[in-house]
Structure 1
């Protein structure tokens, strides 16, 4: 493990006004859970009542560690131990008078930040999608220490701004905590994306949005707004890329030119397959036109036949 930047140069902020740390922490959590879901056969992710918890998070981290073991030479182990020790010294020094050894939330926040800092150093060149790149941004760009909780009683004021939210989504919330160089904390909340995916599937099922009754993306977004979930909690883009897109990739929902639908039977599955197949044919024909046009150019040795071999029987 090599420290690619100087941690001691990081200055903890004394302002929480422009902090966007909750979005980065949300990206981190979703990335950790998505990795585990894609790399384990655990029945946990098939549970229709799946809800985020700290224990689930730590189990998902274990999957990442097991699938991508980091081998450290004996000569580096002591150096790494000293690095971690120095990180704690640096953090406590930066907090100064705001460090309270009796503040359990603060100690947990420091532990979590340093653990993620080290994991980012270990995995940034190992994983194509590195979950710790998001938390690294919290430390380096927002200049905050951070943590989270699945127990909203720890942050009792987090739901104060969500009084109008529906009961079905109000408590699908994760508390997040940021700590800068000041006495108080930056408290906020993020939505439990995995639970919201399940909620969305249930809505599609209840309203019978199958392949014969698809729903447009704008109407999907409106359904979330009707639940009282604001853009601050879940932006239009978040709905598309954190909820709809992953469910499509996992073939939980399908799509055609008329919208999205839940996949409950073979007809739903085939309708989605056919839509993707037609798109595939369209892309292939476009690639063929590019290849044909390339005969007009001879300046560079670019390869325009990388797609050859696909769909020979159908298109030739």
Structure 2
């Protein structure tokens, strides 16, 4: 029960200033969808017109469960049941006068927080750094918040404030997120539908013929989003790079060379990106080999400087 003892030390926050909960929820949702896309043959997750929904999220969670089964013995199952039961009681106690069993949003928020806490407990060793519940665990442990999200603006309309500065595109590609601390009210915000924005970007590359013959520099990509009236307050340059460009490269929907990024439409585009990555790989390899040669006169174990060659033995 060590994990429960850790949670008992957490005091739900009464200060909603400078919290990072919305970024953690965004990272969690994106990680869940990306993980499911990598580990399943789902055509839905590869659809160019994919938009996020709560149903899609739970389908991806189920896919993660199915592809990474956990075999718990009866003793461990009972331990988890007791822990979960104690978590509910402890959270209700921590909320104190701010707990209202008639508040359906609050009940959903408690359920979601505890479900993610248990999943992190069960999967943190199995999935390692790929564990999507690492992000939500940060909300509870570091932000000291209960939390939830919705793709239906009407569901939280009495809680979520309108962002008047938001672009029209962003308004249609937003997910409402809320947090609950030791207060009567909720903290609320919006995050972007990253999957829809990825598809918007791919379609933009396609429509403007940005293939291997007409790549875009990263700064030009940032500007494309600004031209759509998506401000840096809504989506930073770093968000664009880490949440949109890099995953699209990872899933081979876009490629790159020394001149920039481009859509992969055919074998020629694919080969252009391959050549660029191959040249980069050879550059890194030669650098590592030079390190190995310089290390011949050092006191280090020579095997420590030959790890880059071990990959060819696997």
User: Matches of 1:2 and 1:107 in 2, distance apart?
Assistant: 25
1:64-106: CA deviation from partner (whole Å, max 9, x where unpaired): 1111111111123222211111111111111111111111100
Q: Is the 8 A contact 1:155 1:187 kept in 2?
A: no
Which residue matches 2:27?
27
The structure with more helix, counted as a fraction of residues:
2
User: Matches of 1:42 and 1:29 in 2, distance apart?
Assistant: 17
Residue segments in structure 1 that go unaligned for 5+ positions in a row: 312-316
User: Matches of 1:107 and 1:123 in 2, distance apart?
Assistant: 24
User: Matches of 2:79 and 2:303 in 1, distance apart?
Assistant: 47
User: Matches of 1:200 and 1:37 in 2, distance apart?
Assistant: 18
Which residue matches 2:278?
277
Residue 203 (str. 1) matches residue 174 (str. 2): no
Q: Is the 8 A contact 2:4 2:87 kept in 1?
A: no
Match of 2:163 among 152, 161, 164: 161
User: Matches of 1:215 and 1:163 in 2, distance apart?
Assistant: 28
1:260-310: CA deviation from partner (whole Å, max 9, x where unpaired): 000111221111111111111111211221122122223545432334488
Q: What TM-score results when the alignment is normalised by the length of structure 2?
A: 0.93
Q: Is the 8 A contact 2:295 2:302 kept in 1?
A: no
Which residue matches 1:109?
109
Trace 1:1-20 onto structure 2 (pairs within 5 A).
Answer: 3=3, 5-20=5-20
Q: Is the 8 A contact 2:113 2:146 kept in 1?
A: yes
User: Matches of 1:102 and 1:162 in 2, distance apart?
Assistant: 31
Q: Is the 8 A contact 2:292 2:302 kept in 1?
A: no
Cα gap change, 1:309 to 1:134, in 2 (>3 Å)? closer
Which residue matches 2:242?
241
Q: What TM-score results when the alignment is normalised by the length of structure 1?
A: 0.93
Q: Is the 8 A contact 1:33 1:60 kept in 2?
A: yes
Secondary structure of 1:186 counterpart: strand
Q: Tell me the matched-pair count.
A: 310
1:24-68: CA deviation from partner (whole Å, max 9, x where unpaired): 011111111110000000110121210111111111111111111
User: Matches of 1:240 and 1:185 in 2, distance apart?
Assistant: 31
- Report the more deviating stretch, 73-82 or 214-223: 73-82
Residue segments in structure 2 that go unaligned for 5+ positions in a row: none
